[in-house]
Amino acid sequence: MDRLAAMQAFVRVVETGSFSEASRQLNLAVSSVTRQVNSLEKLLHTQLTNRSTRSISLTPQGRKYYDKIVPILQDIEAADLSVAEQDEVPRGLLRVSLPVAFGRLYVAPLLKDFFQQYPEIQLNLTFSDALANPVEEELDVVIRFGNLDRSGASWLVQKIASYTRKVCGSKAYLSQHGIPEHPQDLVHHNCLCFSYSTGYEIWRFQRDKEVCEVKVNGSLVANNSEVLRQACIDGVGLILMPTWLIGEDISEDRLQTVLDDFQFHPHVDMDTGIYALYLPNRRHSLRVKTLVDFLSQHLGNLPLWNRTK
């Protein structure tokens, strides 16, 4: 038995919750992964998992073993990376998850320059607005906005850029329905919501010491920010969106901001930052550092983040 391979198979089974998915990610037959886990249990003289036709769960011994070996496997991977990149030339494959609209608008135009500077790096980009799990999805870097799930204490976080959020609408909509003077006025407006998380219908604002929460509602909820932006431009309703998405629309008078004396005030576990997340075993990865530094350099001071009319 290859003990290291068996440990890796066991960890992948735990993290995916499935022998078949673990085998797919490891590019092995299901029978091979099952045999590796069985051999590990035989070596340890203990049962690590409870298995049924529908689910897999850890035994108390399995949980203890998993918690002990994950850092070991991460250290081994980090050691491999440090040797592979010892000549200080960033190279190899980077698997990256990033938000759909942000990736299309801001990362895609930078790819030509990135590859010209770092021709030995390959990128595998996954565009999704869902918060990805770097372990389960085998990701090297996750690019995400505020409202990070910080319960994953093993994640390392580096800020790339800042932005603000604004409430805005088209001139046609505002001339027909009026301009809200206070956040509470939004209850009388058609507010288009981005369903990126639970509680998306609660918009929270602050002016000096005044904090105001408003439960908005409207005719459209979508999980794609560009759909909401276009509906707003077309006069359907109001949106609360980041300036990186609507800054140019405001500048070119396609949209008009309202409630400018109020600031969008996110909850305690949120902020208006763009972050790169990665696991500790990627801390010393030259190609991870190269990508994150590249994005910070090109996007960190981009005027569009805070552009308003």
Domain ranges of the chain: 3-84, 92-161+272-301, 165-264
- Which value, in Å, is the radius of gyration of the alpha carbons in the chain? 24
Fold of 3-84: Arc Repressor Mutant, subunit A (1.10.10)
Provide the pLDDT for residue 237: 96
Which candidate, 107, 86, 204, 201, places its Cα nearest to that of 160? 107
Structure token pair of residue 179:
């301009």
Report whether pLDDT(50) > 80.
yes
- What is the rounded distance in angstroms from the CA atom of residue 140 to the CA atom of residue 124? 10
- Residue-level pLDDT at 240: 93
- What's this model's pTM, rounded to 2 decimal places? 0.67
Check residue 154 and give its pLDDT: 65
Q: What is the pLDDT of residues 77-133, one digit of tens each?
A: 766 666 655 557 788 889 999 998 899 989 999 999 999 999 999 999 999 887 776
Percentage of the chain modeled with pLDDT above 90: 31
For 293, list phi and psi in degrees, rounded to 5. Answer: -65, -40
Q: Name the superfamily (CATH) of residues 92-161+272-301.
A: Periplasmic binding protein-like II (3.40.190.10)
Judged against a pLDDT cut of 70, whether residue 305 lies above it is answered with no
- pLDDT-based confidence at 265, cuts 50/70/90? low
Residue 125's DSSP bridge partners are 96
Question: Tell me, what's the pLDDT at 125?
Answer: 94
pLDDT reported for residue 86: 57
The confidence score (pLDDT) of residue 272 equals 67
Architecture of domain 165-264: 3-Layer(aba) Sandwich (3.40)
Domain 92-161+272-301 matches domain 165-264 at the CATH topology level: yes
**DSSP H or E stretch at residue 111:** helix 111-117
Distance of alpha carbon 250 from alpha carbon 252, whole angstroms: 5
Which residues, 6 or more positions from 74, have their beta carbon under 8 angstroms from its beta carbon?
279, 280, 281
Angstrom CA distances, 253 to 122, 175, 189, 276, stand at 39, 14, 21, 32
Checking if the pLDDT of 308 tops 60, the result is: no
Residue 302 has pLDDT above 80, yes or no: no
The two structure tokens encoding residue 208:
């000096």
